[in-house]
Amino acid sequence: MTNINNKWAFSEIPSIEEANFDKVLERFFKMGINGLVRENIQNSLDGKLNSIKGPVKVRIETGDLERSRVPGIEEITAHINSLVGRNGYTKEAITYMQKKVLAKNIRYISFEDMNTKGLAGARNGQSNKQSDTWSAYAYSKGVHAELEESEQEKSRGGSHGVGKIASNSASDIHLSYFANCDERNDQHLGGNIQLIEHKLDDKFYRSTGYFAKVEKTSATQTRFKPYENNFDHVFNKETRGLKIIIPFLRKEYDDEVKIIVSVIESFFIGIIQEKLEVEVNSHLINAQTIQKFIEDPKYFEQEPKNIKKDFTPLYFNTYKSEPKPQKLIVSNGIKDLEFDLYFHYNAEIISGRVAIVRTVGMKIEDFKVNNNVRKPFNAILIGGREEDQYLKSLENESHTALEVDHIKDEKLKKQAKKFIRNLNKEMAEVIAKAYEDENPTDGLINTENVLFTVENRFREALESTTGTVLVNNGNKIVKSPKKKSKVKPGAGNEQPEKKGPTAKQDETKGKRRKPTKVATPQDGAQDADGEPTSAGKFVLYPESVERLILANQEIVKFNLKNDDQIRNASTCNIEIAVVDGMGREQLNEFNLDENYQTAFDLATGEMCPIENQQIKGVTIHDGEMDLKLMIKDRFNRALKFMYYVEVMK
C-alpha cells in the first residue's frame, strides 16, 4: 500500500486486470434522484437513536462550492488524468471526468441526519470488529454492518451492502465524502472515489481510492485511519450523526422539485407516522406539512384518472380515508405472514397498485397485481417485524422490488416464489370482493323459464338436422346421420357442394395479412440533420408471430415476408403490448426490464439491448427475425402479446 504521505490512499497492484467501472455505479445512475434519496434517507432511519422519542431528521442541501475547497482535489485530479480507457464506454466516461474535475466552481448535495447514532469506532480506523460500523461503511465493499439489537436489525432497510456507492454515482467524477460525529463527539471525515484500475508514476493501483491516511501496523502491514474533521464547513458535522457530501453533482440530480417528490414518494408513510422529518433547502416536510406538498400540482398529478406512474396522492388518500386496516394473510408455504392492508376502491382510478411498505416507513415498490393493473383500486401493505425480515430477504439490492433472482438457496427461492404468487392471489380476491360490493346485483333472477326455452329450442334444432330412432319405451334417441355424397343424386357432372368457408374465405385461407403501419417516419426520432431514423412502425398480426416458452427462455419467430417495407430492411426495434381479457392492448403495462433478463438475436448470436421499452437492433434476414429471450421468474407465461416493429433505416 502506498501514498502514505498523501490525503488519498490507493492500494497498489502488480498489474491492471479490470478495465471497467464498477457496474453498481451504472445501476444506481439509472435510478437517478430516487436511488440517491432512498439510499441515504434509509441509512439515516436505520441509524435512529432508540433513546430519542422524536423523528429522525434529515437535512438535504444543494449549493455551490469552489473546487479548491474540496479535500485532496489535486491528488484526485492526478489519478483521473492518468486513467486510460480500453473500450468505447470507458474512454467516453474518462474524457468526461477529466473535463469536469477542472471546473473552478462546482455544485454539491449533502444529506445530514440528526437523532441518529452516527458511525461507531472511527478512531479505530480499519478494523475487524463488528461493532466498528465506521470500518464497514468506509473501507468495505458489499458489506452490511449488522446491529447487535436483533429486533432493530430486522426492520432496517439495508442488507446488500452496496447502497453506499449510490452517492458516488451522483458525482460527475464518482466522488463522495462522509462526515461523522459519534457518541464521544469524535468528528472525522472520510470519503472514497470509484475509478478504474490505473497506472500513475510507474505504479499500478486499484480502482477505489479512500480519503484516509495510511498507518503502518508492522513491517509489512498497514491500515486506513480517518482524518479528524478540520475541513471546510460544507464538510463539517458537529452534532451526533452522519453527513454525506457529494461534490461535482451531476446536472441530472440537481433538481429541487424532483428531490422533494422523491422524498415523499419513498417515505410518505414514515413522514405521516412521524418517524421521519426532511428539510430540502428551505422546505420542511413533516407530518404537518406533507399534505400541502402532495396536494400541490407543482409536485404531483392531482386527477386520479391521469395518475399512471406516481401513485403517491392516491396512497395518501387511501391511508387517510381507511384508518382501520384489514388483515391480509400471505403464506410462503412454510409460514403465514400477516400484513395490515389499507384498501380503497374508486371508480376514477385507472391503474391499480399496492404500495409495499417496510415498518421504517419506506416504500419498496408499487406492486402490480397480476391481471388487475387496470382495476380501480389503491392499496398499502405494511407488515410487522417478522414480515419486514422476510421482505428484506426478497428485496433487490436497490430496495425497489420484490424479486427472487438473487436468492441462491433453491428451497428459499421456491418459498419466495410461492409468497409472491399467494400475494397476487390474496390481493386479487380482495379486489374482486370490492368490485362485487361496489356493483351489487338488483336481486336473484329466476332462470327456469329461460333454461327451459333454450333447452327446447336446442332439442328442436338438433332433431331437425338429424334422424331419430324409436326405442321400445317410446323415447327417442338421436341417430348419427350418414355421410352425404359430395355429388347430388342426378346431378351428372355438377360440382360438389361447397361446405365450410365461403369461396372468398377459401381463397384467403392460410395467407398472412400484411403488417399495418401505425406510425410514419416523421412521427419518430430524427438524426442530427433532422432526418427520420426509422422507416415507420408496424403492428404485426398473430399469424406472423410464433412463440415457444421453455423452462427459462422464450423463442419468438417473426415472419415479415408479406411486406416489402419490412422485408427489405436490415434492422428493427421491437415493442410489446399486453392484450387484456377484453382484447384491448395495454401498451405500458408490460415492463421489458422486469420480465426479461437478456435478449439474443439468433441470426447473429449477439445480445440485443433492452432500453426504453424496446428490444433494440434486431436483424431482419430474408424477411424473418428470430429472438431468444431469457425470462425472469416473475414472467407471466399466460399473457398474450401484440408486437410492434419499428423499422430502422
Q: 322-372 pLDDT, tens per residue?
A: 878 999 999 999 999 999 999 999 989 989 999 999 999 999 999 999 989
pLDDT (0 to 100) of residue 508? 46
Interval 481-500: pLDDT, tens: 555 444 444 444 444 444 44
Q: How many residues does the chain have?
A: 649
pLDDT (0 to 100) of residue 187? 97
Residue 276 reports pLDDT greater than 60: yes
**Look-up of cell digits 327456469:** 448
d(CA 589, CA 323): 30
3-state secondary structure of 271: helix
3-state secondary structure of 530: coil
CA 295 to chain centre: 26
7 Rama sector, left if φ>0, alpha if ψ -120 to 50, beta otherwise: alpha
Asked whether the beta carbons of 168 and 141 are under 8 A apart, the reply is no
Interval 560-584: pLDDT, tens: 887 777 777 888 899 998 887 777 7
Interval 8-55: pLDDT, tens: 999 999 999 988 988 888 888 888 899 999 999 999 999 999 888 899
- Ranges 162-176, 398-412, 495-509, 519-533: which has the least confidence: 495-509
- Ranges 236-250, 259-273, 344-358: which has the least confidence: 344-358
Residue 585 reports pLDDT greater than 70: yes
pLDDT (0 to 100) of residue 153? 41
pTM: 0.68
DSSP string, 188-210: EEEEEEE---EEETTEEEEEEEE
pLDDT (0 to 100) of residue 148? 47
Q: Which helix (H) or strand (E) holds 136?
A: helix 133-139
d(CA 98, CA 93): 9
3-state secondary structure of 416: helix
d(CA 514, CA 74): 63
3-state secondary structure of 242: strand
Backbone φ and ψ for 105, nearest 5 degrees, come out as: -120, 130
Interval 83-137: pLDDT, tens: 999 888 899 999 999 999 999 999 999 999 999 999 999 999 999 888 899 999 9
Interval 396-450: pLDDT, tens: 766 678 888 888 889 999 999 999 999 999 999 999 999 888 876 554 445 454 4
Residue 593 reports pLDDT greater than 70: yes
